[in-house]
Amino acid sequence: MKQSLTVAMIQMSSVLLQREATIDKMVHFIEEASEKGAELCVFGESILPGYPFWIENTEGAKFNNKVQKEIHAAYIKSAIQPENGDLIRLQKIAKSKNVGLVFGSMERAVDRGGHSLYCSMIYIDSNGEFRNSHRKLMPTYEERLSWSPGDGHGLNVFPVGPFTMGGLNCWENWMPLARTALYGQGENLHIAIWPGNVRNTDLITPFIAQEGRSFVISVCGLMSKDDIPQDFPYADVFRENAPAMMANGGSCIAAPDGSWLVEPVKDEEGVIIAELDFNKVLEERHNFDPVGHYSRPDVFQLKVNKRRQSGFQYED
């Protein structure tokens, strides 16, 4: 069995609130990554169709505000519903290029009525099969004005080459029990996705790698004032109040000993390729395994509720 995996971190800006145009851009970079030998492509948090950078720059906390309501309505309309075929193009490119895809997306959850937004980490495998939607457990700070809290249903791991892959959205990666829930299922390749900025990834990426004795791939997005589309609702208001750079990247990879395989990449859009050697995981597990020989299940145990949460049940 092959003992390595070629991965591509795709650091890009969204075409904000434009689902199909953002998918166009994703497909372009997937094709480029495939040509470079990638077997797994990873994008940033909420890349499809974008992170709500406008909230902190346009009085996002102002109650019943016309600007916020109209932008939010557009955000909902541009979100995805996998059940309705919104990811078909990405599934087809994954299958045709034999490459797995992990990316952040705004999801209109059918099982929660279809009107609220969930920050979901999506996994499509190399056969083009939709495998997982992990809805972010707790939106961070101003995100709570736009996103809904998720559940544990998507806290799953999957075989990818010689690795067992799991992942979390942004500040979920700071949640020790969320990480442990993945370690306990055998995770040794951890995906952390972020909206952007080196300050998010430079410390935590090697820390998680050392804690989990796993490879950790942190992938970020980019967003500048110039990336705000002209047809974005209240684009002029957003531009007037936004900083020149809202997300400067920071995508990186740490090895299982906490050393850098790829140091944080700043201000560059494109494909970043790396090869992961599975043997490095086994070498580092010699002295520490967080849920194996260095754990104490007689003292500590974690209970994880993986049921998909819904506010209703129908009985015929």
Active site residues: 45, 136, 170
Which of these, 60, 154, 42, 183, lies nearest to 101 by C-alpha position? 42
Whether the CB-CB separation of 81 and 114 falls below 8 Å is answered with yes
Terminal CA-to-CA distance of the chain, rounded, Å? 49
Whether the CB-CB separation of 134 and 156 falls below 8 Å is answered with yes
In angstroms, the CA 120 to CA 131 distance is 13
> Nearest 5°: CA angle at 296, between 294 and 299?
155
In angstroms, the CA 169 to CA 159 distance is 19
Which of these, 52, 89, 105, lies nearest to 232 by C-alpha position? 52
In angstroms, the CA 177 to CA 16 distance is 33
In terms of C-beta density within 10 A (0-12 exposed, 13-18 middle, 19 or more buried), how is residue 176 classed?
A: exposed
Reduce the DSSP state of residue 76 to 3 states and report it: helix
Helix residue ranges per DSSP H, 215-278: 235-241
Whether the CB-CB separation of 213 and 290 falls below 8 Å is answered with yes
- In DSSP terms, 215 is beta-bridged to 189
**DSSP assignment letter at 181:** H
Q: Which residues contact 214 (CB under 8 A, 6 or more apart)?
A: 187, 188, 189, 190, 208, 256, 281
